[in-house]
Structure 1
Amino acid sequence: MIPPSIHLYKNDLPDNLNLGNIIAIDTETMGLNPHRDRLCLVQISAGDGKAHLVQIIPRALGGNGYDCPNLKRLLEDPVVVKLMHFARFDVAILQHTLGIDITNVKCTKIASKLVRTYTDRHGLAALCRDLLSIELSKQQQTSDWGTAILSEEQKNYAAADVLYLHTLWEKLEKMLIRENRLTLAEHCFAFIPARAKLDLLGYEEPDIFSHR
């Protein structure tokens, strides 16, 4: 396997960086509560073997905080398809933290659950192993992403979370078409931004769609 090309940026994407109309996105945070835990890193790939990591540095630590106009412009662009794995969380943290609205999302986790009903393994590592024969290391999953200087291990881990999403989506899309569930998947994807807003409002429990 050719080692990925990883580009790390402080505070924002560089000007005039063209990543095309289909990008893979992931985030790293200090925890899983968007109201409590800050956004530390946004990873993006155009599916070309390159990963672009944007380190979000608080003003208290000498950074620009959430003043990242190039990143926001890309994420808000309705023409750009955003590939994510467990988009429900990533959309929520990005919308809440950056104050933006995200549309045109596709989620490989939802796609997997819709079409890979023969398994209960729908995590990114399982998808890469089962569909791409690639083993992902998850050792850095619980590391400190708020540190000022990211280790090489952290950067490699963060990059891996976006480098394979294009290929995964291509395979999952073919399976969704084969099983006549692509339209259903698209309806689920369109609901993700609203589902994220419901989560931010505290509607994870009780579920407003349940009978209770």
Structure 2
Amino acid sequence: MAIKLHRGDLPADVSFGSSVAIDTETMGLNPHRDRLCLVQLSSGDGNAHLVQMPRGPYQAPRLSALLADPKILKLFHFGRFDIAVLEHALGVRCEPVYCTKIAAKLVRTFTDRYGLKDLCRDLLGVDLSKQQQTSDWGAETLTDEQMTYAASDVLHLHALRAKLDALLVREGRTELAQAAFSFLPTRARLDIAGWPDTDIFAH
């Protein structure tokens, strides 16, 4: 596994093919208050690129172009949060997208465990460490442990997607999942606009 750290934006010579796994690290869970600190990306080849974001205003044209590219599928786990954070920070709408958490909720109805650690263990036999989850991502210099943790959040999403796609086909829920993925950027935009806890479809 190779982990490459970039500051401010992706280098011009980095490409990810037709799909890229993405995750973010922030100072907290409120995009209006807590700044974006790190964006992790992987093409599923066992390597990860980490883009450390300086304090705003954010200027990352190559990363923004990747996120908005309609020919590249963006893979997330709990994409609702990451998509909202990226749109709020960079002003770019991520499409098309795939969320392993949504897929898991549609096919793994026998459990209430949908965390990335749970899915990697159950579907891939991979044990992820979450020790650095609540560390200070705003630090100017990230530790090796932080970078390893951050990379682990994107290294397995392509393999998870393959497993979950097979389960979606088996359960006849592929079309339903795709409709949910298509709505996800709008759900994220509703969160940013002020409806994070409101079910707008409720009576």
User: What residue is the counterpart of 1:62 in the other structure?
Assistant: none
Distance 2:148 2:127 in 1: 13
User: What residue is the counterpart of 2:148 in the other structure?
Assistant: 156
Letter in 1 for 2:188: A
User: What residue is the counterpart of 1:101 in the other structure?
Assistant: 93
User: What residue is the counterpart of 1:80 in the other structure?
Assistant: 72
Q: Does 1:17 align with 2:22?
A: no
Q: Which range moves more in the overlay, 196-205 or 183-192?
A: 196-205
The partner residue of 1:122 within 104, 114, 120 is 114
- Per the normalisation by structure 2, the TM-score is 0.98
Tell me the alpha carbon deviations over residues 128-153 of structure 1, each in whole angstroms, 9 at most, x when there is no partner.
Answer: 01001111000000000000000000
Aligned-CA RMSD value: 0.8
Tell me the alpha carbon deviations over residues 20-76 of structure 1, each in whole angstroms, 9 at most, x when there is no partner.
Answer: 1110000000000000000000000000000000000126xxxxx411111001111
Count how many residue pairs are aligned between Structure 1 and Structure 2: 203
- Per the normalisation by structure 1, the TM-score is 0.94
Q: Which range moves more in the overlay, 201-210 or 36-45?
A: 201-210
Partner secondary structure for residue 178 of structure 1 = helix
User: What residue is the counterpart of 1:142 in the other structure?
Assistant: 134
User: What residue is the counterpart of 1:28 in the other structure?
Assistant: 25
Letter in 1 for 2:166: K
User: What residue is the counterpart of 1:205 in the other structure?
Assistant: 197
User: What residue is the counterpart of 1:42 in the other structure?
Assistant: 39
User: What residue is the counterpart of 1:57 in the other structure?
Assistant: 54
**TM superposition shift of 1:204:** 2.1
**TM superposition shift of 1:155:** 0.1
2:42/2:49 contact within 8 Å kept: yes
Structure 2 alignment gaps of length 5 or more: none
**TM superposition shift of 1:206:** 2.9
| Percent of paired sites with the same residue | 59
User: What residue is the counterpart of 2:105 in the other structure?
Assistant: 113
Q: Does 1:196 align with 2:193?
A: no
Distance 2:197 2:12 in 1: 41
